[in-house]
């Protein structure tokens, strides 16, 4: 499949623990929110969801979200006492919109179906920067995706540079209440810490689009 869907944790975000997080001005609050979410015994059963946001780029939203996915992917007991490993998947918001737009491509149809139905999803970087058409279409795709996932109690983690109020202003109050239904929220406050954490993997970019994509 040609689309950029991750079925595991990307190498940049492996072998990392939330206790090692640096840079956030509200570090303890972020760590507390993450631990509270991943240790909630009802997260999987009830399909609880999480919205991680920061108005700045490079504060660690994506890395934090991948840590959560890794923890939820660990072996656990289901309601019948059987050991299970729950599948995880991550996709960038812009990439999801790309194959939603390709209504005739079989690969795109399959990718969209997989994203909608995967038990634990990271929808990374929900931002107007990655819009491929217009806000109305983006809103419709988000509504369809999240309505399906909510109805089937599937866990969704979203990262975004939009505060909840900004999300509502962009997509409208009805979409905001529906898309973010059953979500808890973690705000990451602080500046860009990427260069200090992994200078060898990250190069400075003069292009705002490139910098946005790095997060």
Q: Domain range for residue 105? A: 5-214
Query: How many Å apart are CA 143 and CA 147, to the nearest integer?
Result: 6
Q: How far apart are alpha carbons 74 and 79 in whole angstroms?
A: 16
Q: What is the CATH number of the domain that holds 18?
A: 3.40.50.300
Report CA torsion sign: 18, 32, 189, 49. positive
Per-residue pLDDT of the chain (215 residues; tens, 9 = 90+): 456 899 999 998 998 999 999 888 999 999 999 999 999 989 999 999 999 999 998 899 999 999 999 999 999 888 888 899 999 999 999 999 998 888 888 999 999 999 999 999 999 999 888 777 688 889 999 999 999 999 999 999 999 999 999 999 999 998 899 999 999 999 999 877 765 555 555 454 445 444 444 45
pTM, 2 dp: 0.87
Q: What's the structural domain count of the chain?
A: 1
Residue 160 to residue 167: CA distance in whole angstroms: 9
Tokens of 48: 């609880």
What's the token pair of residue 183? 């979500």
């Amino acid at each position: 499949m040609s689309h950029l869907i991750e079925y595991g944790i990307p190498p940049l975000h492996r072998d990392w623990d939330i206790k090692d997080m640096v840079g956030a001005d509200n570090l303890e609050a972020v760590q507390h929110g993450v631990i509270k979410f991943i240790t909630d015994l009802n997260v999987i059963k009830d399909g609880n969801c999480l919205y991680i946001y920061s108005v700045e780029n490079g504060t660690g939203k994506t890395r934090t979200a991948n840590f959560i996915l890794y923890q939820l992917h660990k072996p656990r007991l289901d309601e019948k006492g059987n050991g299970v490993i729950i599948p995880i998947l991550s996709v960038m918001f812009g990439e999801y919109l790309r194959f939603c737009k390709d209504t005739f491509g079989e690969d795109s149809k399959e990718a969209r179906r997989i994203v909608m139905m995967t038990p634990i999803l990271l929808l990374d970087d929900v931002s107007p920067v990655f819009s491929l058409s217009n806000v109305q279409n983006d809103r419709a795709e988000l509504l369809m995706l999240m309505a399906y996932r909510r109805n089937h109690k599937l866990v969704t983690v979203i990262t975004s540079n939009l505060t909840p109020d900004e999300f509502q202003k962009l997509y409208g109050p009805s979409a905001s209440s529906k898309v973010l239904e059953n979500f808890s929220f973690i705000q990451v406050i602080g500046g860009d810490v990427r260069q200090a954490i992994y200078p060898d993997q990250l190069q400075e970019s003069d292009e705002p689009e490139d910098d946005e994509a790095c997060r």
